[in-house]
């Protein structure tokens, strides 16, 4: 008998149809992966099982969890099941823990809520749970607070909370999306081990086909609240039938068609760049400590080239990006664009600044919501000595919008009227409008669904062809860097540990860190 | 935590030093000669000079500042120009009215605001929430002196439960004094409670939508367990800030209420001192109030650190 059986589940929130006739089941010891893009209803399916739905949600159909009809149980009975029969792990480890209570307290709470045990016994069992998720006592005593842990460690604490009572079902909602690739691999290994040890069933929700393909026994693909395809993993990848799943798989491995025209002359020269930050003083009058975020980095970016910069969070890649953009002064070395320094004296060099632009990760946070699109994309004009006005300005706006695949009429709209992918197009239009030579793409496609990501990558390839643009592509996502760059740099702890043509680096990584990164990246199974 | 406390103490002392300097300089550049004011415009020049000398107004600014600050440190606030009594005694008497009144009002305000705010937040969007929000809106809008007069009419004139004003002094007994302070405290507390309840509600509503509250619910906590065990303490930081500001306001800002109820408090003292150009009293009372505000802020900051472990390491 199935551990979890969802039959013909439909869900409406207000007047919005969220789910329609969703059916799936999870057996004990089985891992079922649910895949879909944002808005496909995959997370809402999980929240329906937990019965933690937003107010005004109306569910119909049947959700049976180890014999309990979740849709008709009273709240008190549901509270008994949550954390006891079913545990849940969330996407954002940074905010999933209460910042003002110790990790021991929070793990023990799961036990105290469900069982009549003493506080000290609950703490002892919390210790056990933390040991199981590989947070040993000597480094992670129960008295630690969440802010003293990294994202991966916090996710382990969340997992410890979810499995403390050895539930029959574990629901993981994008458990590794916010984590670096090596941390992701460790968390996935941990989840697999726990499922095996406890014989748990697991519902694994992700937008990333590769992550799920690595561990699931069965895969369910969702689109717009409907299950479009299901099948055993990895067999399903060779036998996809629904057009949506086929295009999803294609998009995951999509390589844009790039015509490379690289000139030998370097456009950007970075030489021995060092960037240090001062730490807060330890004592009142003692010397302030320093931390070196970028330790003597050198590389060239040639005209027309697309260069990748790969590394995990905290490796210094964002600091380096800011230094190249002239947003911050460096403490050593030089950065030249076409022979001109980015920083002259203690001021950014405007002549250089206007030749490079940046596109950031967050398509939601990087626009002023009160400005119209035309004003937003004209922002870089302040770098020009004589910004275009009147008809010239209109022409520039129209050109920028149409070259990123939007229409001229979009200039009168506000940013909230656009989807994430469209916003990223607007961000690219904003970068293009002053006709730069170099665009820095700082995790520019990381927040996008795979299909939208594929479209943006195509757009970038096309723009590079048409305008002879060079890109510096900064990302932690190896699969993206692999398809969009000619050469790539691997950065670790403020240093570049490996560089070379992208194909070569991926096929034959030399540095142990690069090898580790590539091994950790989840792969889709090879299909004919 | 010790380092945090010490660094807060250091910033507290700096605030006090800067404040004393500013107060001294502002009073110094104000036009008006206390000697002329005390003796009248027709006074002889040599009489004025003698009085100035007696009041210590002739020394250099630096010596006078040092004398003033040095005196305050040992509890000597100087002598009032108009009343010819030590300022410390005058302020002391008044403080015994204003301080209990402020504490009384703040206690009332907190006791009303916390349950109201928590209740409204836990039933967000319900009739209870709308009701609390509506009443507090009214509480913020009604001027407290008008409400005070209304209470005098109802409880003092008609029902005769309380006296309409005045303060018998603590010598007359604790409960008698508390009774005399009740109507003023209620009048002061009403708008403060309304503001605090609204802050409490909105802070709690924000916290309730945080991810960690959802995590707590996924562990099996009920809605109200999640609120009491996880959301409430996290919502306290903005509430503590407002409580600190309200205490400072209540201590000094009760002047209108003190007048409505004929209470001999600090507010009335400073008002009279300003009218009489009794600058030494003004200086001392203002300095005292600054001291109180800075001390309250210090306590609020220590409370922050007790609530939030992330602050203890700073």
> Which residue spans within A320-427 are E strands per DSSP?
332-337, 340-341, 343-344, 347-348, 356-359
The nearest CA of chain A is from the CA of B305 a distance in Å of 10
Give the N- to C-terminal CA distance of chain A in Å, as an integer: 35
pLDDT given for residue B314 in this prediction: 53
Indicate the residue of A87, A95, A113 with minimum beta-carbon distance to B212: A95
- A-chain residues near B125 (CB < 8 A): 55
The nearest CA of chain A is from the CA of B21 a distance in Å of 25
The nearest CA of chain B is from the CA of A367 a distance in Å of 24
Pick the CATH number of A4-252 from 3.40.50.300, 3.30.70.100, 3.40.50.2300, 2.40.128.260: 3.40.50.300
CB count in 10 Å sphere of residue B195: 17
Distance of CA A279 to the CA centre of its chain: 29
Residue with tokens 């480890």: A93
Name which of A14, A46, A92, A98 to mutate to probe chain B: the one with the most chain B Cβ atoms within 10 A of its Cβ: A98
Residue A205 in 3-state DSSP? strand
Long-range contacts of A72-78 (CB under 8 A, 24+ apart): A75/B222, A75/B223, A76/B222, A78/A51
Measured CA distances, A197 to A86, A192, A278 (Å): 16, 9, 47
Closest CA to B242 of B182, B184, B279, B194: B194
Statement: residue B37 has pLDDT above 70: no
How far is the C-alpha of B14 from the C-alpha of B26, rounded, in Å? Answer: 18
Calculate mean pLDDT across residues B113-128.
91
The hierarchical CATH code for the domain A256-351+438-443+472-520 is 3.40.50.300
Residues linked to residue A492 through DSSP beta bridges, in sequence order: A495
Statement: residue B279 has pLDDT above 90: no
- A-chain residues near B13 (CB < 8 A): none
- B-chain residues near A113 (CB < 8 A): 219-221, 225
Could you state, in order of their start, the residue ranges of all structural domains in chain A? Answer: 4-252, 256-351+438-443+472-520, 356-435
ipTM over 0.85 threshold: no
Both tokens assigned to A115: 């069982």
Least confident stretch, A97-106, A368-377, B90-99, B132-141: B90-99
pLDDT given for residue A200 in this prediction: 93
Residues linked to residue A12 through DSSP beta bridges, in sequence order: A17, A58
How far is the C-alpha of A103 from the C-alpha of A140, rounded, in Å? Answer: 9
How far is the C-alpha of A402 from the C-alpha of A428, rounded, in Å? Answer: 11
Say which DSSP state A224 is in. T
Statement: residue B30 has pLDDT above 80: no
pLDDT given for residue A113 in this prediction: 92
- B-chain residues near A81 (CB < 8 A): 220
Residues linked to residue A273 through DSSP beta bridges, in sequence order: A297
Architecture of domain B90-312: Orthogonal Bundle (1.10)
Q: Is the peptide bond prior to A234 cis by the omega test (within 30 degrees of 0)?
A: yes
- B-chain residues near A101 (CB < 8 A): 230
Indicate the residue of A90, A96, A113 with minimum beta-carbon distance to B220: A113
Indicate the residue of A50, A81, A98 with minimum beta-carbon distance to B212: A98
Residues linked to residue A206 through DSSP beta bridges, in sequence order: A35
Both tokens assigned to A300: 């060239």
pLDDT given for residue B253 in this prediction: 66
Name which of B207, B209, B219 to mutate to probe chain A: the one with the most chain A Cβ atoms within 10 A of its Cβ: B219
List residues in chain A touching B: CB distance below 8 A. 50, 52, 55, 75-76, 79-84, 87-88, 90, 92, 95-101, 109-110, 113-114, 145, 147, 158, 161-162, 280, 284
A with B: how many residue pairs have Cβ under 8 Å apart? 77
The nearest CA of chain A is from the CA of B45 a distance in Å of 54
User: Minimal Cα distance from B312: which residue of A?
Assistant: A100
Calculate mean pLDDT across residues B281-303.
87
Least confident stretch, A396-405, A509-518, B96-105, B257-266: B257-266
pLDDT given for residue A478 in this prediction: 86
Task: Decide: A418 and A367 in contact? Cβ < 8 Å.
Answer: no
- B-chain residues near A76 (CB < 8 A): 222
Long-range contacts of A236-244 (CB under 8 A, 24+ apart): A237/A213, A237/A524, A237/A525, A237/A527, A238/A527, A238/A528
Residues linked to residue A148 through DSSP beta bridges, in sequence order: none
Domain with CATH 1.10.3720.10 in chain B: 90-312
CA atoms within 13 A on the CB side of B97: 27
- A-chain residues near B225 (CB < 8 A): 113
With a CB cutoff of 8 Å and minimum separation 6, the contacts of B304 are B237, B240, B311
User: Minimal Cα distance from B207: which residue of A?
Assistant: A98
* Mean pLDDT, 10 residues at a time, chain A of 528 residues: 90 88 93 89 91 88 92 92 92 89 93 93 94 91 90 92 93 88 90 92 90 90 92 85 89 81 86 86 69 89 91 86 88 88 83 89 83 91 87 91 89 87 90 91 85 89 89 88 91 91 92 91 69
């Amino acid at each position: 008998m199935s551990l979890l059986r969802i039959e013909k589940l439909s869900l409406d929130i207000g007047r919005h149809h969220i789910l329609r006739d969703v059916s799936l089941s999870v057996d004990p010891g089985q891992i079922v992966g649910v895949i879909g893009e944002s808005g496909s209803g995959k997370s809402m399916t999980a929240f329906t099982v937990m019965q933690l739905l937003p107010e005004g949600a109306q569910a119909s159909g049947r959700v049976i969890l180890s014999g309990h009809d979740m849709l008709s149980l009273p709240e008190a009975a549901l509270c008994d099941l949550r954390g006891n029969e079913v545990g849940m792990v969330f996407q954002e480890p940074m905010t999933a823990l209460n910042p003002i209570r110790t990790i021991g307290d929070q793990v023990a709470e799961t036990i105290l809520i469900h069982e009549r045990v003493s506080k000290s016994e609950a703490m002892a069992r919390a210790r056990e749970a933390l040991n199981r998720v590989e947070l040993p006592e000597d480094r992670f005593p129960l008295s630690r607070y969440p802010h003293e842990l990294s994202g991966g460690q916090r996710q382990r604490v969340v997992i410890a909370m979810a499995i403390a009572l050895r539930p029959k079902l574990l629901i993981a909602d994008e458990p590794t999306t916010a984590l670096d690739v090596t941390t992701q691999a460790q968390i996935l290994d941990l989840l697999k081990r726990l499922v095996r040890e406890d014989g748990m069933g697991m519902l694994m929700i992700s937008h990333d086909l590769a992550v799920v393909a690595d561990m699931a026994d069965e895969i369910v693909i969702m689109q717009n609240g409907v299950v479009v395809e299901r099948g055993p993993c990895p067999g399903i990848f060779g036998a996809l039938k629904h057009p949506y799943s086929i295009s999803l798989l294609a998009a995951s491995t999509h390589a844009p068609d790039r015509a490379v025209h690289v000139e030998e002359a370097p456009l950007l020269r970075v030489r021995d760049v060092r960037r240090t930050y001062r730490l807060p003083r330890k004592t009142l009058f003692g010397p302030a400590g320093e931390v070196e975020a970028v330790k003597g980095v050198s590389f060239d970016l040639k005209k027309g080239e697309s260069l990748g910069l790969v590394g995990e969070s905290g490796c210094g890649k964002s600091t380096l990006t800011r230094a190249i953009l002239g947003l911050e002064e460096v403490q050593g070395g030089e950065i030249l664009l076409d022979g001109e320094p980015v920083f002259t004296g203690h001021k950014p060099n405007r002549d250089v600044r206007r030749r490079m632009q940046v596109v950031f990760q967050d398509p939601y946070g990087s626009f002023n919501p009160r400005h119209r699109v035309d004003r937003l994309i004209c922002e870089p004009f302040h770098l020009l000595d004589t910004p275009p006005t009147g008809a010239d300005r209109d022409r520039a706006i129209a050109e920028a919008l149409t070259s990123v695949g939007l229409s001229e009429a979009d200039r009168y709209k506000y940013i909230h009227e656009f989807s994430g992918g469209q916003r990223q197009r607007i961000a690219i239009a904003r970068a293009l409008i002053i006709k730069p030579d170099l665009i820095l793409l700082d995790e520019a496609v990381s927040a996008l669904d795979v299909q939208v990501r594929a479209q943006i990558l195509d757009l970038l390839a096309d723009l590079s062809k048409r305008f002879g643009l060079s890109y510096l592509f900064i990302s932690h996502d190896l699969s993206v860097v692999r398809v969009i760059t000619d050469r790539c740099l691997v950065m670790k702890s403020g240093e570049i540990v490996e560089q070379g043509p992208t194909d070569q680096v991926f096929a034959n990584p030399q540095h142990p860190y690069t090898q580790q990164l590539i091994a950790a990246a989840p792969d889709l199974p090879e299909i004919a | 935590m010790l380092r945090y406390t010490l660094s807060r103490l250091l910033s507290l002392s700096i605030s006090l030093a800067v404040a004393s300097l500013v107060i001294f300089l502002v009073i110094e550049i104000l036009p008006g000669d206390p000697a002329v004011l005390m003796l009248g415009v027709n006074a002889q020049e040599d009489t004025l000079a003698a009085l100035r000398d007696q009041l210590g107004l002739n020394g250099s600014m630096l010596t006078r500042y040092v004398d003033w600050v040095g005196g305050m440190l040992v509890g000597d606030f100087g002598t009032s120009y108009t009343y010819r009594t030590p300022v410390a005694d005058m302020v002391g008497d008044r403080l015994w009215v204003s301080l209990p009144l402020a504490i009384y009002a703040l206690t009332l305000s907190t006791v009303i605001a916390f349950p109201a705010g928590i209740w409204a937040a836990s039933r967000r969007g319900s009739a209870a929430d709308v009701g609390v929000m509506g009443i507090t809106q009214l509480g913020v809008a009604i001027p407290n002196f008008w409400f005070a007069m209304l209470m005098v009419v109802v409880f003092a004139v008609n029902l005769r439960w309380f006296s309409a004003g005045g303060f018998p002094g603590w010598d007359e007994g604790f409960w008698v004094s508390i009774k005399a302070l009740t109507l003023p405290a209620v009048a002061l507390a009403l708008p403060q409670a309304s503001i605090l309840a609204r802050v409490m509600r909105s802070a709690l509503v924000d916290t309730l939508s945080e991810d960690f509250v959802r995590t707590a619910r996924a562990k099996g906590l009920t809605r109200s367990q999640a609120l009491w065990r996880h959301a409430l303490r996290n919502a306290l930081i903005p509430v503590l800030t407002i409580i600190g500001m309200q205490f400072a306001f209540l201590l000094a800002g009760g002047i209108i209420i003190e007048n409505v109820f004929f209470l001999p408090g600090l507010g009335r003292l400073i008002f009279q001192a300003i009218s009489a150009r009794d600058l030494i009293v003004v200086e001392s009372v203002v300095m005292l109030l600054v001291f109180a505000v800075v001390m309250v802020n210090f306590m609020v900051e220590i409370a922050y650190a007790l609530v939030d472990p992330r602050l203890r390491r700073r």
